[in-house]
Amino acid sequence: SAALGEAANAYAAGERDPEALRGLLITRLTAEPLVSIDYAELVDPATFQKPGSLAVVAARLGKTRLIDNHDLRLPFPA
Protein backbone atom coordinates (compact mmCIF):
# COMPACT_ATOMS: atom_id res chain seq x y z
CA SER A 1 0.00 0.00 0.00
CA ALA A 2 1.07 3.58 -0.52
CA ALA A 3 0.93 4.23 3.23
CA LEU A 4 3.41 1.43 3.93
CA GLY A 5 5.66 2.71 1.15
CA GLU A 6 5.73 6.19 2.65
CA ALA A 7 6.54 4.82 6.10
CA ALA A 8 9.29 2.60 4.62
CA ASN A 9 10.79 5.59 2.79
CA ALA A 10 10.76 7.67 5.96
CA TYR A 11 12.41 4.81 7.90
CA ALA A 12 15.07 4.45 5.18
CA ALA A 13 15.70 8.21 5.44
CA GLY A 14 16.39 7.85 9.17
CA GLU A 15 13.02 8.31 10.91
CA ARG A 16 12.81 6.01 13.93
CA ASP A 17 10.11 7.63 16.07
CA PRO A 18 7.25 5.09 16.14
CA GLU A 19 4.61 7.78 16.62
CA ALA A 20 5.92 9.80 13.66
CA LEU A 21 5.90 6.69 11.47
CA ARG A 22 2.42 5.73 12.69
CA GLY A 23 1.32 9.29 11.94
CA LEU A 24 2.51 8.90 8.35
CA LEU A 25 0.47 5.72 8.00
CA ILE A 26 -2.66 7.33 9.38
CA THR A 27 -2.27 10.54 7.37
CA ARG A 28 -1.89 8.62 4.11
CA LEU A 29 -4.77 6.26 4.85
CA THR A 30 -7.17 9.02 5.91
CA ALA A 31 -6.38 10.93 2.71
CA GLU A 32 -8.56 8.37 0.94
CA PRO A 33 -12.19 9.39 1.55
CA LEU A 34 -13.67 5.87 1.45
CA VAL A 35 -11.10 4.29 3.79
CA SER A 36 -11.92 3.57 7.43
CA ILE A 37 -8.90 2.54 9.55
CA ASP A 38 -9.25 -0.44 11.89
CA TYR A 39 -5.63 -0.15 13.06
CA ALA A 40 -2.24 1.19 12.01
CA GLU A 41 0.61 0.25 14.35
CA LEU A 42 4.33 -0.44 14.52
CA VAL A 43 5.09 -3.67 16.34
CA ASP A 44 8.03 -5.97 16.96
CA PRO A 45 8.09 -8.61 14.18
CA ALA A 46 8.78 -11.44 16.65
CA THR A 47 6.45 -10.53 19.52
CA PHE A 48 3.89 -8.14 18.00
CA GLN A 49 4.50 -5.87 21.00
CA LYS A 50 4.76 -2.09 20.48
CA PRO A 51 6.97 -0.47 19.38
CA GLY A 52 8.83 -2.15 16.56
CA SER A 53 9.75 -2.05 12.90
CA LEU A 54 6.83 -4.02 11.49
CA ALA A 55 4.15 -1.67 10.18
CA VAL A 56 0.75 -3.40 10.33
CA VAL A 57 -2.39 -1.91 8.84
CA ALA A 58 -6.02 -2.96 8.61
CA ALA A 59 -8.58 -0.74 6.96
CA ARG A 60 -11.97 -1.01 5.33
CA LEU A 61 -12.83 0.14 1.86
CA GLY A 62 -16.58 -0.15 1.84
CA LYS A 63 -17.37 -3.66 3.04
CA THR A 64 -13.94 -5.03 2.10
CA ARG A 65 -11.32 -5.33 4.85
CA LEU A 66 -7.75 -4.80 3.67
CA ILE A 67 -4.83 -6.08 5.76
CA ASP A 68 -1.17 -5.43 4.95
CA ASN A 69 2.21 -5.24 6.66
CA HIS A 70 5.82 -4.45 5.92
CA ASP A 71 9.02 -4.71 7.96
CA LEU A 72 10.41 -1.19 7.64
CA ARG A 73 13.99 -2.49 7.94
CA LEU A 74 13.60 -4.06 4.48
CA PRO A 75 13.36 -2.26 1.11
CA PHE A 76 9.80 -1.62 -0.01
CA PRO A 77 8.95 -3.51 -3.22
CA ALA A 78 8.65 -1.26 -6.26
The CATH number linked to 33 is 3.30.1300.10
pLDDT, average across residues 34-44 = 97
Mean local confidence (pLDDT), 60-70: 96
Pairing, β 64-71 against β 54-61: antiparallel
Q: If pLDDT is split at 50, 70 and 90, which confidence band does 1 have?
A: confident
Residue 60 lies in a domain: yes
Inside any domain, residue 78: no
Share of the chain above pLDDT 70, in %: 100
Q: Is residue 76 part of a domain?
A: no
**Domain of residue 36, residue span:** 2-71
Asked whether the predicted pLDDT for residue 78 surpasses 80, the reply is no
Report how many domains make up the chain: 1
Mean pLDDT of 25-46: 96
* Residues 59 and 35: beta-carbon distance below 8 Å: yes
